[in-house]
Structure 1
Amino acid sequence: MRDGIRWLVDLEHWMSSVVFARGISAQELAVRMGGDRDAATEPITDAEAWVLGEWYRPGEDGDGVVRVGEQEGWAFALEYGDSTGGDRLAEISQKGIEAVHYVPIQEHPPATVFYARDGVEVCGFGLREEIWRWGREPDLLLPDLISGHVLQPDGKTLVAPETEHYTDAYRRTLGVIEQRFGLSLSPAYLKEARLPAYAVRGTPDMHI
């Protein structure tokens, strides 16, 4: 059974984000997000990544770190702290690459999904706010959202009743994204599994 990405909805404390890219290696993804190609750590766990940086410095930017790997034909980067690597989605997707950025904020403001291709931010929307879409092709995923029972056929009305818990609605939308792009991420990567890490912002201590 594939891991998929719907399980990301159930994360309670991991409040950074994940970037997927198809057509480049994990190392290249880290570089496009601001990392030094030759400065990866030895593979580390999620818990070890959280001790690398100062995530909040009053009056200035904090540190940003990514752990990277590959699964199901996509490279992925887990962002930690004050990383802005995911904000470079158009740059990440240059030269024919596809990229997806999921920001798992809970309920309000909503989690968001962005899709870029070949240097262009194609489309994006907030989860449970899919009636408001933006990007070069804001309606690219509209047929998928309709067939996935997220939106009514008019594209302007949510299927879910207002009483539905936001996690159920989020899970349905992530299922649409998962199926459309074939995304998968093992839950082990946010537990005991080890991945190389790169500094992408600030001056974290990358020595474990």
Structure 2
Amino acid sequence: MSKRDWNGSSLEERRARRREQLLDAGVTLLAEAGAAGLTVRAVCRLSGLSERYFYESFSNRDLLVLAAFDRVAEEVSAALSEAVAQAPPTPEGVARAAVAAVLAATIDEPSRGRVLFLAPAGDLLLHPRVDTVGRALVAMLREQLPAARSTAHRELVANSLAGALAYTFSGYVAGSLRVSREEFSEHCVQLLLTLAALPEPVLEG
């Protein structure tokens, strides 16, 4: 039997499809039940695959947790980067495009929002990943700030923005911020514009 005799696909293609099925199940469980609910047995049941196929792709449950989180983080990051690249070249244009993109990626796709903003609170394993995502966001925000400002000022503002936005989005995804989508979106846009325009302090020598 050739490697393509099974439904016309190769062994590598079948393995890749099974891995995607497991990842789909992992994201769903991470979103719905948190990290504690993402077990090998639960993933196999949801994906319809046996444990044999689970261990074909992941040597343990933790690797699937990390892979599921990474997939969501990469999808949201890609949507944000594309929106910023295509936005009108003004501070307001970039801010509105960025906020709209993250809302679409994490609120219109609730599972992504829960994985990205809520799941890490339930599993220390994900904390280093959250730090990586945060540092990438800081770098992106820093690039949008006026180059005329000092490096220290841009670093401070970018970190402040990333922290404020992450906490605000977490509250909105969790439902503790009971405001309309329009109010939430406009608040985030104004937060970006206000902090980005924050004047650099004049330090007395």
TM-score range, shorter chain: under 0.3
Structure with more strand by fraction = 1
Structure with more helix by fraction = 2
TM-score between both structures, scaled by the size of structure 2: 0.26
TM-score between both structures, scaled by the size of structure 1: 0.26
The structure that has the greater radius of gyration is 2
